[in-house]
């Protein structure tokens, strides 16, 4: 039994771990021990701090989700305090439970993976206690150490032990993970702001931060839509920092844009900065501040309230440039002595008006004004640019025939006026062909503001009125003359000179044009109303009335034109067309339909086209001078036609004479030549339809067309009829008996004489055409020379050369006749211009005017809506009206639909 002192003796502590053998030391051991130590640290942290980690995840989920912003301030604060306390307790318990692992614990954790439960690391630190002097003991110990070292080198640290199943058997650890994942998705854009809001609850009543709404309305004339900035929707610049989503992108605005800013929320004061303008926000109600200003300078658009920058955007202000206008061609005299001007105008947004300012070069006594303004029509819906062609009748003005300076000008919606370079021109003065009209105009010119001219004018008017037969006994002309005479004779200085001049002018027009003068006056008034309609908004009722009056005035003018036009027999067929007004009727009908539909853009284009057509219609009434010129042109055209027919007849006779001489010189045919299969039968040339025909070129299935427009063709000679019988040679056909040589020479002399006479007629006709047109058609001049060559060849008996020249003369007469007609039409074009395209012209009348005359335009140049488009617009309009009258729709929706209806 051991002594008592041995039982009570204190236990000796375990000897410290000794270093392993040298063979077991190295980097691999340090790495393995470090990993084993980290595994122990992870297991102890997880065991001690997993409740704290779960609470932290729940807190982050609450912060990122923004749920606490929906809670009252006191509840938000209580929740935050509870969360902080819970996390403090959890982290405190975790720290109390946690201890850092020792080196020995890491060794033992690493030795757990040893085979057969050995502890090779511990064994490597042991020393031989007994038998150290025995060689056998040392050999056994060395062998044991080597085996332990081999096992130690094979040791690897194990993975952390799954301990959460034991610590959380119900799996509650998944809840904070899911909540945190959802909160990260919701608050990943602004996590910092959300965490700050979660950690700073407001115990006072919550107030939403102020928001700003800014309306930017460009001027109406720009046609640009308003722009709205709403910080509650798009984000704003807050506390000097620009919001995302393009807050720093510049705003391009026209100068003069109206700005309206509203700040919603609790704000006591604020400021709006728009470029160089600063405007203080004023109180609109308890929750709204308001400010209005105009944007007209570069800079920034800033809205401030309660120390916050709600809006901060750079401004790019586009200044409005003045309109530009200039003549594209110098002003000249248009149809019916009207002043024709062609200009081009443009503006960066829209033109509102354009016109001409006339200023006489030299002022004369009696001039009523120093300058005169003429309005120019602006057609079409796009007012940014305009090609203007305008006609102004200034023949009745005192400045007619005088030199003036014309300055074009244009204005835009901002009131800016732009002027183009001025040109000097002599205003057109009407030329009257009727003797009485000339006398009336002479007395009118004599009337001035001076009393000294009154007596002479009264005497002259008495002389004209004493011969009513000279102006056809027209009572309207007679009454106008007597009224003007009485006005001058009875009122003296109180006479209204302008009224007298107007009476005399109307009387002269009545004498010159007849009933067409009244129709032209109505069309002038209609054209002025059309110009007014093009310049402003279109009223449907006024437009219906205007279209009805236009239709009636056009019917009167068409009747007057039909009475004054020369008969169809006066002009050649290609110079006279059928008088129709179906195209105008169709255009007016489509305009009425567009007016009912409210299609103002299409109606403006149609009105511009109608205005041009009315100008041409007024120019279509020929004056007496034009009538005389047209009659001379018709006679010249007939003379050219007869000239060509006579030349063709001479060619036929020359050809027959040449054929007769060839038949006399040809040897007789041998028997059996025809139909022997060796030599085909030879048919001589024949005359068919007045044209040379070669039988070997003819085919039974092809026949020469007969052109009724060529009156100079002559039919072939019939058997037994008058004239020579020219047929085929051979084949049993009898040849005519050869005439004696004296007869052939007599025929050639007669052909030469007739050719010379035809050449003389041609020279006289050329002189007359040159007098009418001022120029000589080149082909007709060459035709006269070629006809002279044919006469010379006939004198020499060279029939073949004569036929060559005659054929060439026929070709030149055809082309020269077309040239002469074109030049004569151009020469009298001032009275008959009617060359504008008509919408709806059918085949054969492309570009024809209401009188049937051809033009050079294209109907496609005016974009008129088709009938399916019009029907579609009508359907849309009916549907809008049906929805606007639906009682189940809300008031804002009805208001929106009613605003849409005028657009259709």
Give the position of tokens 């011969």.
467
Asked if pLDDT for residue 697 goes beyond 50, the answer is no
**Highest-pLDDT range among 133-137, 196-200, 296-300, 897-901:** 296-300
- In degrees, rounded to 5, the angle at the alpha carbon of residue 225 between the alpha carbons of residues 220 and 231 is 125
Select, from the ranges 22-31, 305-314, 740-749, the one with the highest average predicted confidence (pLDDT).
305-314
Q: Which of 820, 829, 740 is nearest to 775 (CA)?
A: 820
| Residues 87, 49: Cα–Cα separation, whole Å | 10
Kindly indicate whether the domain formed by 211-318 is annotated with CATH number 1.10.287: no
Three-state DSSP class for 614? helix
CA angle 752, 755, 760 (to 5 degrees): 125
Q: Which residues are paired to 360 by β-bridges? A: 404
Give the domain 622-662+739-834 fold. Answer: 1.20.120
Q: Determine if residue 309 is left, alpha or beta; phi over 0 gives left, psi from -120 to 50 gives alpha, anything else beta.
A: beta
Do 528 and 553 meet the contact criterion of CB atoms below 8 Å apart?
Answer: no
Phi–psi pair at 739, nearest 5 degrees: -75, 165
Work out the pLDDT band at 134, boundaries 50, 70, 90. confident
Model pLDDT for residues 843-869, shown as the tens digit of each residue: 333 344 443 434 434 434 444 455 555
Using CA atoms, how far residue 851 sits from 391, 446, 831, 847, in Å, is: 21, 39, 14, 11
Q: Are the C-beta atoms of 591 and 606 separated by less than 8 Å? A: yes
| pLDDT at residue number 848 | 43
Residues 229 and 257: beta-carbon distance below 8 Å:
no
d(CA 128, CA 131): 7
- Rounded mean pLDDT, 288-299: 91
Structure confidence at residue 6 as a pLDDT band (50, 70, 90): very low
- Per-residue pLDDT tens over the stretch 437-467: 889 988 888 876 566 677 788 888 888 888 8
Q: What is the pLDDT of residue 238?
A: 37
Q: Contact, 608 vs 534, CB < 8 A?
A: yes
CB 311 within 8 A of CB 302: yes
The rounded distance, in Å, linking the Cα atoms of 376 and 148 is 115
Token pair in block for residue 5:
């002192």
Q: How far apart are CA 3 and CA 637, in angstroms?
A: 167
C-alpha count within 13 angstroms, C-beta hemisphere, residue 345: 34
pLDDT band with cut points at 50, 70 and 90 for residue 322 = very high
Task: Report the C-alpha dihedral over residues 471, 475, 480, 485, rounded to 10 degrees.
Answer: 80
Domain ranges of the chain: 22-185, 211-318, 331-426, 432-514, 515-566+579-620, 622-662+739-834, 867-903
Measure the CA–CA gap between 408 and 375, rounded to whole angstroms.
10
pLDDT at 381: 62
Contact 504, 487 (CB under 8 A): no
DSSP string, 68-96: GGGS-HHHHHHHHHHHHHHHHHHHHHHHH
Nearest to 376 by CA among 401, 341, 333, 406: 341
Confidence of residue 291 (pLDDT cuts 50, 70, 90): very high
Q: Provide the terminal-to-terminal Cα distance of the chain, rounded to the nearest Å.
A: 125
Supply the pLDDT for residue 565: 56
Of the two residues 102 and 674, the one the predictor is more confident about is 102
Residue in 287, 225, 292 with CA at minimum distance from that of residue 253: 225
With contact defined as beta carbons under 8 Å apart, do 683 and 728 qualify? yes
- What would the pLDDT profile of 192-227 be if each residue is shown by its tens digit? 888 888 887 876 555 677 888 999 999 988 888 899
Across 7-21, 121-135, 415-429, 622-636, the highest mean pLDDT is recorded for 415-429
* Tokens matching residue 301: 């658009």
Q: 161 in helix, strand or coil?
A: coil
Pure H helices in 514-574: 516-535, 540-564
> Which of 696 and 128 is assigned the larger pLDDT?
128
**Could you tell me which of 242, 276, 243, 280 has the C-alpha nearest to residue 261?**
280
Q: What is the rounded average pLDDT of the residues 804-813?
A: 88
Per cent of the chain over pLDDT 90 is: 9
Q: Where is average pLDDT lowest: 45-59, 203-217, 315-329, 531-545?
A: 531-545
Between CA 497 and CA 335 the distance in angstroms is: 28
Lowest mean pLDDT, pick from 518-527, 683-692, 889-898:
683-692
List CB contacts of 427: < 8 A, sequence separation 6 or more: 339, 358, 394, 397, 399, 400, 401, 402, 403, 404
| Segment 594-622 mean pLDDT | 68
At the top level of CATH, the class of 331-426 is mainly beta
CA separation, residue 357 to residues 6, 351, 369, 370, 406 (Å): 139, 17, 12, 10, 6
- Token pair, residue 532, equals 């007014």
Q: What DSSP character marks residue 361? A: S
The DSSP code sequence of 737-748 is PPPPHHHHHHHH
Average of per-residue pLDDT across 79-91: 88
Higher pLDDT, 617 or 801: 801
The mean predicted confidence, pLDDT, of the chain is: 73
Which pLDDT value is given to residue 194?
82
375 or 740: which leads in pLDDT: 375
Q: Does residue 396 surpass a pLDDT of 70? A: yes
Q: Are 835 and 806 in contact (CB under 8 A)?
A: no
- What pLDDT, on the 0 to 100 scale, is given for residue 354? 92
Say how far apart CA 471 and CA 463 lie, in whole Å.
13
Q: Determine the Cα–Cα distance for residues 249 and 313; give it in Å rounded to an integer.
A: 7
Residue where the block lists tokens 């009387």: 507
The pLDDT value given to residue 674: 43
Give the model confidence (pLDDT) of 467-512 as tens digits: 888 888 888 888 888 888 888 877 555 457 888 888 899 888 888 8
Identify whether the C-beta of residue 620 lies closer than 8 Å to the C-beta of residue 564.
Answer: no
Tokens 């052939």 locate to 744
pLDDT for 153 beyond 70: no
Average pLDDT over residues 794-810: 86
List the structure tokens of 849. Answer: 């005017």
CA-to-CA dists, residue 713 to 242, 637, 646, 810, 833, angstroms: 92, 17, 10, 12, 33
Write down the pLDDT at residue 782: 86
> Taking 60 as the threshold, does the pLDDT of residue 620 lie above it?
no
Domains 211-318 and 331-426 alike in fold: yes
Condensed to tens digits (0 to 9), the pLDDT of residues 579-590 reads 445 567 777 788
Question: What secondary structure, in 3-state letters, does 120-138 show?
Answer: HHHHHHCCCCCCCCCHHHH
């Amino acid at each position: 039994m051991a002594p008592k002192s041995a039982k009570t003796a204190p236990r000796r502590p375990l000897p410290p771990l000794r270093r392993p053998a040298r063979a077991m030391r190295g980097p691999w051991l340090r790495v393995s021990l470090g990993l084993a130590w980290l595994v122990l640290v992870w297991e102890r942290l997880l065991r001690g701090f997993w409740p704290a980690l779960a609470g932290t995840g729940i807190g982050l989920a609450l912060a990122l989700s923004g749920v606490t912003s929906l809670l009252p301030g006191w509840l938000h604060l209580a929740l935050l305090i509870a969360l902080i306390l819970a996390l403090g307790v959890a982290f405190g318990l975790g720290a109390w439970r946690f201890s850092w692992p020792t080196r020995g614990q890491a060794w033992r954790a690493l030795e757990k993976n040893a085979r057969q439960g050995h502890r090779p690391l511990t064994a490597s630190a042991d020393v031989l206690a007994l038998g150290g002097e025995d060689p056998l003991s040392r050999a056994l110990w060395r062998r044991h150490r080597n085996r332990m070292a081999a096992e130690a080198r094979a040791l690897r640290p194990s993975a952390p032990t799954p301990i959460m199943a034991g610590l959380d058997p119900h799996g509650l650890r998944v809840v904070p993970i899911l909540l945190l994942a959802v909160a990260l998705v919701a608050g990943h854009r602004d996590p910092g702001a959300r965490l700050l809001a979660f950690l700073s609850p407001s115990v006072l009543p919550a107030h939403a931060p102020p928001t700003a709404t800014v309306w930017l309305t460009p001027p109406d004339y720009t046609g640009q839509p308003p722009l709205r900035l709403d910080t509650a929707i798009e984000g704003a610049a807050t506390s000097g920092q620009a919001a995302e989503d393009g807050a720093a992108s510049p705003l391009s605005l026209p100068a003069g844009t109206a700005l309206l800013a509203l700040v919603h929320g609790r704000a006591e004061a604020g400021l709006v900065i728009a470029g160089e303008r600063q405007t203080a926000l004023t109180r609109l109600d308890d929750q709204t501040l308001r400010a209005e200003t105009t944007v007209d300078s570069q800079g920034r658009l800033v809205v401030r309230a309660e120390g916050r920058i709600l809006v901060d955007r750079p401004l790019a202000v586009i200044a409005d440039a003045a309109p530009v206008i200039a003549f594209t061609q110098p002003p000249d005299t248009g149809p019916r002595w009207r002043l024709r001007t062609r200009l081009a105008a443009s503006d960066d947004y829209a033109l509102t008006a354009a016109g001409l300012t006339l200023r006489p070069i030299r002022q004369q006594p009696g001039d009523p004004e120093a300058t005169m303004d003429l309005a120019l029509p602006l057609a079409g819906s796009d007012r940014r640019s305009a090609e203007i062609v305008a006609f102004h009748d200034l023949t009745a003005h005192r400045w007619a025939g005088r030199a003036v300076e014309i300055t074009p000008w244009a204005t835009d919606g901002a009131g800016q006026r732009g002027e183009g370079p001025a040109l000097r021109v002599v205003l057109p003065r009407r030329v009257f062909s009727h003797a009485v009209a000339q006398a009336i105009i002479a007395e009118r010119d004599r009337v001035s503001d001076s009393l000294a001219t009154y007596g002479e004018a009264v005497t002259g008017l008495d002389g004209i009125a004493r011969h009513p037969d000279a102006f056809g006994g027209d009572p309207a002309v007679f009454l106008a003359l007597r009224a003007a005479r009485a006005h001058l004779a009875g009122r003296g200085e109180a006479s209204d000179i302008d009224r007298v001049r107007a009476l005399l002018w109307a009387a002269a027009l009545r004498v010159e044009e007849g009933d067409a003068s009244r129709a032209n006056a109505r069309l002038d008034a209609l054209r002025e109303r059309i110009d007014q309609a093009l310049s402003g908004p279109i009223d449907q009722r006024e437009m219906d009335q205007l279209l009805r009056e236009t239709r009636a005035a056009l019917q009167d003018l068409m009747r007057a034109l039909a009475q004054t036009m020369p008969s169809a027999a006066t002009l050649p067929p290609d110079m006279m067309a059928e008088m129709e007004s179906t195209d105008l009727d169709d255009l007016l009908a489509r305009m009425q339909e567009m007016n009912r539909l409210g299609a103002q853009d299409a109606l403006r284009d149609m009105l511009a086209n109608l205005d041009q057509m009315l100008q041409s219609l007024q120019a279509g009434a020929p004056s007496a001078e034009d009538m005389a010129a047209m009659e001379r042109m018709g006679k010249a055209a007939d003379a050219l036609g007869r000239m060509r027919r006579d030349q063709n007849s001479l060619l036929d006779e020359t050809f027959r004479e040449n054929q007769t001489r060839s038949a006399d010189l040809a040897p007789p045919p041998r028997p059996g030549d025809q139909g022997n299969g060796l030599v085909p039968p030879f048919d001589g040339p024949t005359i068919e339809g007045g044209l040379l025909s070669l039988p070997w070129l003819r085919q039974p299935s092809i026949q020469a067309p007969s052109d009724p427009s060529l009156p100079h063709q002559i039919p072939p000679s019939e058997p037994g009829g008058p004239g020579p019988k020219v047929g085929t040679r051979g084949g049993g056909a009898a040849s005519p008996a050869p005439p004696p040589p004296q007869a052939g020479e007599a025929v050639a002399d007669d052909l030469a004489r007739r050719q010379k006479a035809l050449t003389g007629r041609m020279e006289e006709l050329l002189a007359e055409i040159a007098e009418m047109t001022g120029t000589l058609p080149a082909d007709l001049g060459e035709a006269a020379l070629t006809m002279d060559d044919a006469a010379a060849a006939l004198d020499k008996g060279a029939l073949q050369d004569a036929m060559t020249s005659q054929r060439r003369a026929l070709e030149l007469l055809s082309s020269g006749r077309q040239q002469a007609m074109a030049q004569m039409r151009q020469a009298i074009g001032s009275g008959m211009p009617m060359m504008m395209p008509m919408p709806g012209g059918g085949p054969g009348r492309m570009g024809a005017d209401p009188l049937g005359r051809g033009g050079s335009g294209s109907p496609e140049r005016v974009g008129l809506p088709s009938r399916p488009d019009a029907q579609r617009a009508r359907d849309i309009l009916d549907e809008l009206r049906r929805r606007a009258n639906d009682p189940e729709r809300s008031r804002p929706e009805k208001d929106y639909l009613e605003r849409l209806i005028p657009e259709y």
